[in-house]
Chain A
Amino acid sequence: MSTPSVNTSAEIPAGFGEAAFEAFLATREEPDWVTQSRRQAFKRYSELLEAELDPEEWRRVDLRAMRPDRFQLNASSEITNDSTDSKSTETLLKGQAEFAGQVTHVDGQLASNDLSAELAAKGVIFGDLAVVVREHSELIQKYFMTKAVDSETDRFSAWHAAFWTGGTVLYVPRNVVIETPLHSLITLQAEKAADFSHTLIVLEEGASATLLEETASTTTDNLGLHVGAVELILAKEARLRYVQLQNWNHNVWHIAHQVGRVEASGFLQWTVGGIGAKLAHIHQDVVLDGRGSEAEVNGVTFATDKQIHSFYTQQVHNAQGTRSDLLYKQVLRDHARAIWRGMIRVEPEGQQTNGYQRNDSLMLSPTCRVDAIPGLEIEADDVRCTHGATAGRVDEEQIFYCMSRGMSEYEAMHMIVEGFFQTVFDRIPVEVVRETLNQAIIKKLGFGR
Chain B
Amino acid sequence: MSDFEEIASIDEFGLADRLEVFIDDTPVLLIRLNDQYFAIEDVCTHDGQPLTNGCIEEGAIVCPRHGARFDLVTGKALCMPATKPIQIFEVEVRDHKIFARLGK
Contact = CB atoms under 8 A, between A and B. Distances in A.
Interface of A: 59-60, 62, 64-65, 67, 251, 278, 337, 367, 369, 371
A65 B42 CA distance: 11
Interface in B69-103: 84
A65 B27 contact: yes
Contacts of A59: 49
B25 A62 contact: no
In order of increasing CB-CB distance, the 8 nearest A-B pairs are: A65-B25, A64-B27, A65-B27, A65-B22, A60-B48, A65-B26, A62-B43, A62-B48
Given A62-B43, A369-B48, 6 more contacts: A60-B48, A60-B49, A64-B27, A65-B25, A67-B22, A367-B84
A367 B48 CA distance: 13
B50 interface: yes
A62 B22 CA distance: 13
Interface string B22-44: 10011100000000000000110
Contact of A278 (B25, B27, B49): B25
A65 B27 CA distance: 6
B48 A64 contact: no
Contacts of B27: 62, 64-65
15 contacts: A59-B49, A60-B48, A60-B49, A62-B27, A62-B43, A62-B48, A62-B49, A64-B20, A64-B50, A65-B22, A65-B25, A65-B26, A65-B27, A67-B22, A367-B84
B50 A62 contact: yes
Interface of B: 20, 22, 25-27, 42-43, 48-50, 84
Nearest to A59: B49
Contacts of A367: 84
Contacts of B25: 65, 251, 278
Contacts of A369: 48
Q: Is the interface of B mostly helix, strand, loop or mixed?
A: loop
B103 to A, nearest CB: 16
Contacts of B22: 65, 67
Contacts of A67: 22
A65 B50 CA distance: 12
B87 to A, nearest CB: 10
Contacts of B84: 367
Nearest to B45: A369
Nearest to A306: B26
Query: Residue among A62, A278, A337, A369 with the most chain B CB within 10 A?
Result: A62
B58 to A, nearest CB: 27
A369 B44 CA distance: 13
A67 B49 CA distance: 17
Nearest to A60: B48
A65 B22 CA distance: 7
Contacts of B20: 64
A233 B54 CA distance: 47
A359 to B, nearest CB: 18
Contacts of B48: 60, 62, 337, 369, 371
A105 B4 CA distance: 39
B38 to A, nearest CB: 19
A65 B20 CA distance: 11
A59 B44 CA distance: 13
A67 B24 CA distance: 12
B39 to A, nearest CB: 15
A64 B28 CA distance: 10
Nearest to A339: B48
Query: Residue among A59, A65, A251 with the most chain B CB within 10 A?
Result: A65
A281 to B, nearest CB: 14
B23 to A, nearest CB: 10
A223 to B, nearest CB: 8
Contacts of A62: 27, 43, 48-50
Query: Residue among B20, B25, B27, B49 with the most chain A CB within 10 A?
Result: B25
A367 B25 CA distance: 19
B84 to A, nearest CB: 8
A59 B55 CA distance: 21
Contacts of A65: 22, 25-27
A160 B27 CA distance: 25
A367 B20 CA distance: 25
